[in-house]
Amino acid sequence: MDVTEHPTEEGKLYLAVVLDAFSRRVVGWSIADHIRSELVVDALQMAIWRRRPPKGSTIAHSDHGSTYTSWAFGRRLRGAGLLGSMGSVGDCFDNSVAESFFGTLQLELLDEHRWTSRQQLALAVFDWIEAWYNPRRRHSYCKMLSPIDYETAHAA
- Residue 150 is part of a domain; what is its CATH number? 3.30.420.10
- Report the alpha-carbon distance of residue 113 to residue 129 in Å, rounded: 16
Averaged pLDDT score across all residues of the chain: 94
Would you state the pLDDT for residue 141? Answer: 94
Q: What is the mean pLDDT of residues 78-106?
A: 87
- Could you give the CA distance from residue 116 to residue 10 in angstroms, rounded to a whole number? 7
- Looking at the 3D structure of the chain, how many domains does it have? 1
| Cα separation, 64 vs 91, whole angstroms | 10
What is the identity of the amino acid at 154?
H
Which residues constitute the domain of residue 52?
2-106+114-125+132-155
Say if residue 152's pLDDT is above 80. yes
3-state secondary structure of 32: strand
Asked whether the predicted pLDDT for residue 93 surpasses 90, the reply is no
The per-residue pLDDT for 88 is 77
How large is the average pLDDT for residues 37-62? 96
Amino acid at 135: P
Per-residue confidence at 89, pLDDT binned at 50, 70, 90?
A: confident
